[in-house]
Structure 1
Amino acid sequence: MIKVYNRITHEYEEENIAGKKFIKWTYETPIGKSITELITKRKIFSKIYGKFCDTKFSAKKIPDFVKDFNIDMSIAEKDISEFNSFNDFFVRNLTSTSRPIDQNKDIFISPGDGRITIYDNIDLNNIVQIKGLTYSLKELIKNDVIAEKYRNGICIILRLCPTDYHRFHFVDSGIPCETHKIKGNYYSVNPIALNSIPKLFCENKREWCLFKSENFGEILTIEVGATCVGSIIQTYTPNKRVIKGEEKGYFKFGGSTTILFLEKDKVQIDSDVLEQSKQGYECKVLFGEKIGTKISK
């Protein structure tokens, strides 16, 4: 059972996991683990399934998926009958009023919908993946010089489930640099998998870039792929100024993760998120939601 903290009700909710039985089997049983290493984590597995999700035949899955996971389609730009494929539905755009963005330059927002964990004063060599398992930023981005910029800074992990809105956005106005791609595997990013695979984020396919924000310093943004994620699509233009809340990109089908690293003394993260993170609980958040405040000097 995975419990997530609801910041509005101040209660813990059980997460309704898409494909829960399959994930538990593949990461918690001897046979399943073998299948994962031989097939499931491979690019070809995710690529084939991703291709299927691009076909019109996959659109038949949409109504049941929406019903089973109680997805609010009233905030989607398209009607459920207008999607051409499951991936078309999966990367759906939301209405402009569904995710209000606080344009106050001192407010730090969530880059997307999902479940968030945040750690401050991080040890670059022992960043928490899940309780008992850590990784290093140098391993994650394979760049020692840039990693050093975030010593004692903040690590923000936003986990997206297959049921979530799967576009990610810029948390501030500023200038994003070019994307660096690192090849890797396609393990699930569900906590069940995170608890089973050491340094999972460093094992999976990922992409990163530096974002020169106007109010929160230089932010390192990382997108991590996962099982059945056909692609990580970057829709921004490098070295061109963006506005707070503007889209950066999206994930095709599958659970995925966005990770942000902030420099020391740039942002004060909201206390409830930090407290829940220390206790090992993720907080449910929406794109545009306040999760911190600029530290004024």
Structure 2
Amino acid sequence: MVKQLLRLMTELSSYRWLSRLMGAFSHSRLSRLLIPTFIRTYQIPAAEAEKPSGEYHTLNEFFSRRLKPGMRQVAEGDNAIASPVDALITAMGEIHSGTLMNVKGQNYLLEELLNHSPHQELYKKGYYFVLYLSPTDYHRIHSPLTGRRIESDYIRGRAYPVNEFGMRHMKSVLSRNERLITYIAGTNGEAAVVKVGAMNVSSIRYSDEQADKWLIGDDLAYFEFGSTVVLLLENGTFTPRPGLQEGTKVRMGELLGTQGRPQ
């Protein structure tokens, strides 16, 4: 009964008008008063931010903060694939015939996640990571490889939570929520960075709308509140780093594995 009530409350709170309302408050000058409480509650390492917390004018501005230079080490090498975010790996593995298997007890069809994009053919036997960003985490998204933008696809959707409850008890959250997808072609294969919106997220934004190529670790986009990134790697091109597994906490720039086409 409790679970059903929570599901109903989540359904009701997933509408875009509520997200817009929460977003409007987080952009208001009044919201800056919550920044110290926010830092304490989530034990955010505010010393990593590029500015002192008192210099941020709104809660949203603090949430989408940049880091001081040198706070993250970015993997090197022409075939490196780096984590695009600070996050918890909640699922990872090979994609089987266009299906992401057992993501918090659910299977996801690639065609639904990518909104029936023709790009799905490149990933049907590829590799995936589901990377969950908690409120504690740094919320900017960086390029996982060096490459150029092939396409960008914005998909309107709901704003279900992507936390443990939402992922386990709401149907196909990753495929139903708002998404901004960036397809990046590198030297050794293509990657899709699927940025998934969440409850109370007002938007997902590119750091530079005009950018069409990035070096590995370059600033790509940011969430205006916590969410999830699904990283897809092209069929037959990716080898994960030994020992990496579900439940591992990774930092932006950390090596996830290597990408290379078969010789």
What is the TM-score with the length of structure 1 in the denominator?
0.82
Q: For the residues of structure 2 that align with 1:241 and 1:89, how far apart are their CA atoms?
A: 27
Deviation digits for residues 38-77 of structure 1 (CA, Å, limit 9, x no counterpart): 3x11001111001100111111111122122221122111
Q: Does 1:198 align with 2:171?
A: yes
Uncovered stretches (5+) of structure 2, i.e. residues with no partner: none
Kept after mapping to 1: 8 A contact 2:98/2:124: no
Equivalent residue in structure 1 for 2:9, among 5, 14, 35:
35
Local SS of the residue matching 2:37:
helix
Counterparts of 1:255-294 in structure 2 under 5 Å?
255-273=226-244, 276-277=245-246, 282-294=247-259
- Asked whether the 8 Å contact 1:179–1:207 carries over to 2, the reply is yes
Q: Is the 8 A contact 2:91 2:104 kept in 1?
A: no
CA–CA separation in structure 1 for the residues paired with 2:256 and 2:25: 37
Q: Distance in 2 between matches of 1:47 and 1:37?
A: 16
Q: What is the number of residues matched between the two proteins?
A: 262
Could you tell me which residue of structure 2 aligns to residue 6 of structure 1?
A: none
Structure 1 residue aligned with 2:22, among 34, 49, 53?
A: 49
Q: Distance in 2 between matches of 1:95 and 1:284?
A: 21
Q: How does 1:105-116 map to 2 (within 5 A)?
A: 105-116=78-89
CA gap of 1:50–1:28, structure 2 versus 1, over 3 A, is farther
What are the within-5 Å matches in structure 2 for residues 116-195 of structure 1?
A: 116-128=89-101, 130-143=103-116, 145-195=118-168
Q: Paired residue for 1:20?
A: none
Is 1:243–2:208 an aligned residue pair?
no
The aligned residue for residue 62 of structure 1 is 35
For the 8 Å contact 1:269–1:292, the answer to whether it is kept is yes
The 3-state SS of whatever aligns with 1:229 is: coil
TM superposition score normalised by structure 2: 0.92
1:82: how far off?
0.6
Alpha-carbon displacement from aligned partner over 1:242-293 (angstroms, at most 9, x marks no partner): 221111110102x2111111112322102322xx33xxxx211110111112
Q: Percent identity?
A: 31
What SS does the aligned partner of 2:94 have? coil
Note the alpha carbon deviations across 1:212-236, whole angstroms, 9 max, x for none. Answer: 1123x01122111000111100124
* Paired letter, 1:269: P
CA shift in 2, pair 1:147/1:238, >3 Å: farther
Q: Is the Cα–Cα contact under 8 Å of residues 124 and 147 in structure 1 kept in the other structure?
A: no
CA–CA separation in structure 2 for the residues paired with 1:191 and 1:172: 28
For 1:239 and 1:90, the matched residues in 2 are separated by 23
Alpha carbons 1:118, 1:154 under 8 Å: kept: no
- Match of 2:118, as an amino acid? V
Structure 1: runs of 5 or more not aligned: 1-26
Secondary structure of 2:5's partner? helix
**Change beyond 3 A, Cα 1:179–1:34:** same
Q: Is the 8 A contact 1:153 1:264 kept in 2?
A: yes
Which residue identity does 1:268 align to in structure 2? T
Q: Quick check: 2:91–2:103 contact (8 Å CA) kept in 1?
A: no
Amino acid at match of 2:131: L
Report the AA paired with residue 293 of structure 1.
T
Q: Is the 8 A contact 1:134 1:198 kept in 2?
A: no
